[in-house]
Amino acid sequence: MSGEVDALYLYLCGVTAFFTLLIYALVIYFVIRYRRRNPSEIPRPIEGSTKLETLWSVIPLLIAMTIFVWGAKVYFAQYRPAQNALEVYVVGKQWMWKFQHATGQREINELHVPVGQRVKLIMTTEDVIHDVFIPAFRIKVDVVPGKYTTEWFNATKPGRYNFFCAEYCGMNHSGMRGYIEVMEPTAYENWLSGNAAASPAAAGRGLFESLGCVSCHGANAEGGRGPALMGVYGSKVVLNDGQSVVADEGYVRESILNPQAKIVTGFGPIMPSFQGQISEEQLLQLVAYVKSLSTAKPETPTEKPPPPSAKPSAQPKSSPSASPKK
């Protein structure tokens, strides 16, 4: 991909250089060729040439279109979310980057990935806008409060590649940087097993229970106060206003923070908002859990979810055990 970007950039430079030289050369040539040869000389009037004018409109148009088509092709390849990618959650904050792998490993300001595999970053921020810029991979995407953005790459050579925050975000903006360690697959497996941790989906399941979500959204929730979430992620959801949306990360996030925004048809607007009660990382864990309910081999709870009466205090590892009364 970086090769494609470079080729396009070289092409642009080439076209620019060619026309710059052509125009300068012609200016010099015409200055000499048509200079005034004696003081009494009166130039012949020129009527213009339709043929010539058409030519120098059509040729640049065709050249511009090659840039447009090529550029669009590269852009779409780069900014369409990748399929079958290794997913890594990214949270930016002043002034550091937090990464969490789907298998649970956490890292700060460094990211280990295997070579030759697509890696998709699902990114958000706890505070202001940041931007993940990885020059060697030719990618750069803003990280925006309140939503998820993504970017992906497929590293082709093992090694260490710098990345930077590319959006001015305060005093230590320039220090908000790190590196991506691209490893051979076996070395990567070793690294993973040496840093094992609870996966975000598993942590999300803990939250799902401790926050009481399970009492309305559980597989066997009584009365069906909220839609069951099995298989929801990635599917089309019909809303009570007749519209339908695809349940992606952004939708799940919105439904947790602003449940009234999109209500699934057949359900009432009774869910409380969790805005301000959970951190961005916890939010990502909940999203990861909902996603895991839709994958082919879901990370299904082996034990039954606790009954609706389960108290938040049942889960040790949740900080905001404070409120949600559902």
Binding site for ligand CUA (CB under 6 A): 92, 95, 130, 165, 167-169, 173, 176
Of 101, 81, 252, residue with least CA distance to 150 = 81
Cα distance between the two ends of the chain: 48
E runs forming strands in 213-275: 236-238, 244-246
CB of 312 vs ligand CUA, minimal distance in Å: 34
Cβ proximity to ligand CUA: between 209 and 281 the closer is 281
- Structural tokens at position 32: 């000499």
CB of 138 vs ligand CUA, minimal distance in Å: 19
CB 294 within 8 A of CB 234: yes
Helix then strand count (H, E) for the chain reads: 7, 12
Cβ proximity to ligand CUA: between 145 and 234 the closer is 145
Cβ proximity to ligand CUA: between 165 and 286 the closer is 165
Cβ proximity to ligand CUA: between 95 and 137 the closer is 95
Cβ proximity to ligand CUA: between 174 and 279 the closer is 174
CB of 92 vs ligand CUA, minimal distance in Å: 6
CB of 164 vs ligand CUA, minimal distance in Å: 8
**Which SS3 state, helix, strand or coil, does residue 21 take?**
helix
For residue 96, with 0-12 CB atoms within 10 Å meaning exposed, 13-18 middle and 19 or more buried, which class applies? middle
Cβ proximity to ligand CUA: between 86 and 176 the closer is 176
Q: Which residue has the tokens 């949270």?
A: 91
Cβ proximity to ligand CUA: between 127 and 184 the closer is 127
- Structural tokens at position 122: 């699902």
CB of 130 vs ligand CUA, minimal distance in Å: 3
What DSSP character marks residue 237? E
Report d(CA 252, CA 161) in Å as an integer: 32
Cβ proximity to ligand CUA: between 29 and 168 the closer is 168
CB of 163 vs ligand CUA, minimal distance in Å: 11
Q: Which residues pair with 153 in a beta bridge?
A: 119
CB of 61 vs ligand CUA, minimal distance in Å: 40
Report d(CA 75, CA 77) in Å as an integer: 5
CB of 59 vs ligand CUA, minimal distance in Å: 43
CB 130 within 8 A of CB 176: yes
Distance from CA of residue 247 to its chain's centroid?
16
**In 34-80, alpha helices (H):** 50-79
